[in-house]
Amino acid sequence: MPTSTATAAGVLHVTGARPNFPKAAPVIAALADRGVPQTLVHTGQHYDERMSDVFFRQLGLPEPDVNLGVGSGTHAQQTGSIMTALESLFLEAPPALVVVYGDVNSTLAAALVAAKLHISVAHVEAGLRSFDPTMPEEVNRLVTDRLSDVLLCTSADAVAHLGNEGVHADKIHLVGNPMIDTLLANLDRFDVAAAREQHDLEGAYAVATLHRPANVDSAADAQALVKTLHSVADQLEVVLPLHPRGRAGLEAAGLLEHGGISVVEPLGYVEFLGLVRGATAVVTDSGGVQEETTVLGVPCLTLRPNTERPVTITHGTNRLVTREDLAYAVGEVLAAPDVEHKVPPLWDGQAGPRIADVLVGVL
């Protein structure tokens, strides 16, 4: 059941899933510095301790004023449950502005409810496009951006996409990447030695994070992915913090039959990035990990045919690979692990204050 102590007005932030929290933390802090009244809503889309609670503690986020507790379900069930709960909340205590983050179902649900109630919406991480309509996240991005009044972009390509879609320039703001604010603020806490000790790692190792439907949903895809990961583990140890999504299918496909693969529970923010910081390579289908490895200078091999974050390729350490090419790509990294890269513009640790300045202007 939802728990609420909210009194609304001011800015209401909607978070719901693990990727939202490091994006929201610097925005909330910067608005607090400016004395803006705020309400933090956690929808509970990610609801267990490892997927949400630990992030609030580690990132210094305030305890949510409202926890909707929606839990898991199909896309329709989850989105509908969040919409129903948010509608009651917004009607009871209407905020002046709703801020949503990224591309998860909580983001879409909040934008829909706010738009129908004529409440202004600001979208942090607007304009990203994979141009792959089979991705649920792409649908969420497109609809959220169409409904938003303030579009806060992490990179120049996102600004261009919105312009091409007919969004008025006055709505678009290039502010940088607040998730990188969080990374840079916590950089000294990412302890590679502690990560090696925790996971019993001595030599070179890779970190893998894989959860997207195209990689794990079907038995055939799971088998193909497991075969690929085994070929990577032939070359170096692989640590795989495994999201609940797809775990049973990957294990049924023989994931653990290779002694070079260690499957672990999802890690806290600090522990995960300590592990990533010391990795020789990262294999992922996550959007945020592409950005984090770009700033950390860790080679990133993205197991997808596309990315909504091309700046991590043009400026960073990321490259797209297929399952067939992954083992060869890992071999290339092992042969030449030092990757030349530059950090994208405005990924400087000051996105939160820039976003706060825009939102204060809107208010």
Which pLDDT belongs to residue 167?
98
Q: Which amino acids are annotated catalytic?
A: 211
Q: Is the dihedral of CA 98, 352, 208, 323 positive or negative?
A: positive
Same domain, yes or no: 152 and 202: no
Q: Is the pLDDT of residue 131 over 60?
A: yes
203 falls within a domain: yes
pLDDT of residue 81: 93
4 SS3 class: strand
Domain tally for the chain?
Answer: 2
Q: Based on the domain organization, do 272 and 171 belong to the same domain?
A: no
Does residue 183 fall inside a structural domain? no
- CB-based contacts of 83: which residues, under 8 Å, 6+ apart? 109, 112, 113
Query: What is the structure's pLDDT at 45?
Result: 63
Domain match, 167 and 256 both: no
pTM, to two decimals: 0.93
Per-residue model confidence (pLDDT) at position 245: 67
| pLDDT for the residue numbered 243 | 76
pLDDT 10s digits, 166-198: 999 999 999 999 999 999 999 999 999 999 999
Residue 7 domain flag: yes
In a domain, 33, yes or no: yes
Q: Dump pLDDT digits (tens) for 47-88.
A: 555 556 777 788 888 889 999 988 777 889 999 999 999 999
Q: Are residues 30 and 169 in the same domain?
A: yes
Same domain, 44 and 147: yes
CA 121 – CA 152 distance, rounded (Å): 11
Report d(CA 50, CA 267) in Å as an integer.
6
Check whether residue 207 and residue 268 sit in a common domain: yes
Quick one: pLDDT band at residue 5, thresholds 50, 70, 90? very low
Amino acid identity at 258: H
The pLDDT tens digits of the residues spanning 207-264 come to 999 988 888 888 899 999 999 999 999 999 999 998 776 788 899 999 999 999 999 9
- Clarify whether residues 229 and 310 are in a common domain: yes
On whether residue 282 sits in a domain, the answer given is yes
CA distance 89 to 241: 35
Q: Taking all residues of the chain, what is their mean pLDDT, rounded to a whole number?
A: 92
Does residue 341 form part of some domain? no
**235 and 213 in one domain?**
yes
Q: Which residue has the tokens 């596309």?
A: 306
Per-residue pLDDT of 148-161, as tens digits, reads 999 999 999 999 99
Question: Domain of 296: which CATH number?
Answer: 3.40.50.2000
What would the pLDDT profile of 306-317 be if each residue is shown by its tens digit?
A: 999 999 999 999
If asked whether residues 107 and 255 sit together in one domain, one would say no
Q: What's the length of the chain?
A: 363
Claim to verify: residue 14 and residue 138 sit in the same structural domain = yes
- Structural domain harbouring 155: 3-177+347-362
With a cut of 70, say whether residue 1 has pLDDT above it. Answer: no
* Residue 169 belongs to some domain of the structure: yes
Residue 94 in this model has a pLDDT that exceeds 90: yes
92 shares its domain with 228? no
> Of the ranges 232-246, 320-334, 336-350, which is most confident?
320-334
Q: Are 149 and 232 found together in one domain?
A: no
Please report whether residue 274 resides in a domain: yes
User: How far is residue 318's CA from residue 327's CA, in Å, rounded to a whole number?
Assistant: 16
